[in-house]
């Protein structure tokens, strides 16, 4: 049965609210939450990332204009990124790496992931990610910051695409797993890659290369975690986002 135009508009609006309410610190009421709205929310994650990147680029530029040394401005900007996302993705990175480092599989590994504490593997992963991101921001122009954060959020539709199961029967992973159609994920990737061509003046290839790197790293992280844990969780999505963002920023600094 075909949805009425006003119904489709409401679903789209609910999906946008859900995206910003889930992926940012904004206190947005999601409205209706079902497979249709979740598909939209996860599919537009790169757009949310681009908006976050624009805010961070403004913070970075403002701090630099105020006289802050580049490393200090970059470090504060990475801290702002964590605040704007409630540290959600960094927490996912820590929990996922701890579970992977336990060398356990299935439910035993998921139990490690669900622990409230952070082990040495998780601490090391978060510290390295934050340090690399800050070092990259210290040398990148504002447009590249936007491209990096948009590219990193491509990990969300990659993790939530059709065919990827949930590792648990409850939680964020169960809600979002398998919701994003492959054409939607491909369209998001193409749009981010095209926009990223303007990230670095005089090097139109480097932005799309960074997007490709983010996509490959996200796919590798998700694929490995699905094999180890039997599916995705919210933590795995967060880990993929941080890994993809860091990879994109590294490629943007090359040359």
User: 28-32, 75-79, 117-121, 161-165: lowest mean pLDDT where?
Assistant: 28-32
Residues 179 and 163: their CA atoms lie apart, in Å, by 9
Single pTM value for the model: 0.94
The pLDDT of residue 8: 83
Is 28 or 20 the better-scoring residue by pLDDT? 20
The pLDDT of residue 31: 79
The mean pLDDT of 50-71, rounded to a whole number, is 98
Percent of the chain residues past pLDDT 70, beyond the cut: 98
The pLDDT of residue 5: 53
For the stretch 88-97, pLDDT in tens is: 999 999 999 9
What the block records as the tokens of 158 is: 């990659």
Q: Is the pLDDT of residue 59 over 60?
A: yes
The pLDDT of residue 106: 81
Range of 45's domain? 5-253
Residues 214 and 152: their CA atoms lie apart, in Å, by 6
The mean pLDDT of 6-13, rounded to a whole number, is 84
For the stretch 219-241, pLDDT in tens is: 999 999 999 999 999 999 999 99
Residues 175 and 139: their CA atoms lie apart, in Å, by 38
Angle of the 5-23 helix axis to the 45-65 helix axis, nearest 10: 50
Q: Residue-wise over 111-147: b if at least 16 C-beta within 10 A, else e?
A: ebbeeeeebebbeebbeebbebbbbbbbebebbbbbb
The mean pLDDT of 141-149, rounded to a whole number, is 98
Number of domains making up the chain:
1
Question: Would you say 136 and 250 are in contact if contact means Cβ atoms under 8 Å apart?
Answer: yes
Residues 98 and 224: their CA atoms lie apart, in Å, by 14
The pLDDT of residue 1: 43
The pLDDT of residue 32: 84
Q: Is the pLDDT of residue 147 over 70?
A: yes
Mean pLDDT of the chain: 94
**Signed CA dihedral, 49, 188, 247, 254: sign only:** negative
Banded model confidence at residue 4, pLDDT cuts 50, 70, 90: low
The pLDDT of residue 103: 83
The pLDDT of residue 100: 94
């Amino acid at each position: 049965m075909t949805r009425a135009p006003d119904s489709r508009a409401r679903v789209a609006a609910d999906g946008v609210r859900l995206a910003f309410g889930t992926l940012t610190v904004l206190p947005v009421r999601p409205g209706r939450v079902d497979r249709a709205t979740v598909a939209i929310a996860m599919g537009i994650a790169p757009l949310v990332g681009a908006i976050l990147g624009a805010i961070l680029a403004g913070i970075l530029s403002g701090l630099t204009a105020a006289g802050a040394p580049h490393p200090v401005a970059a470090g504060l900007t990475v801290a702002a990124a964590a605040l704007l996302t409630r540290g959600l993705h960094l927490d996912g990175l820590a929990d996922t790496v701890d579970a992977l480092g336990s060398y356990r599989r299935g439910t035993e590994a998921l139990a490690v992931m669900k622990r409230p504490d952070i082990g040495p593997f998780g601490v090391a992963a978060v510290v390295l990610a934050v340090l690399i991101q800050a070092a990259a921001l210290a040398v990148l122009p504002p447009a590249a910051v936007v491209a990096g954060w948009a590219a990193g959020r491509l990990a969300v539709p990659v993790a939530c695409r059709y065919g990827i199961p949930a590792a648990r029967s409850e939680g964020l992973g169960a809600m979002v797993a398998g919701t994003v159609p492959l054409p939607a994920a491909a369209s998001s990737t193409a749009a981010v890659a095209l926009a990223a061509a303007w990230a670095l003046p005089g090097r139109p290839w480097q932005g799309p290369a960074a997007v490709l790197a983010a996509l490959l790293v996200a796919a590798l992280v998700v694929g490995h975690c699905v094999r180890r844990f039997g599916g995705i969780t919210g933590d795995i999505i967060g880990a993929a986002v941080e890994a993809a963002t860091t990879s994109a920023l590294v490629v943007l600094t090359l040359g």
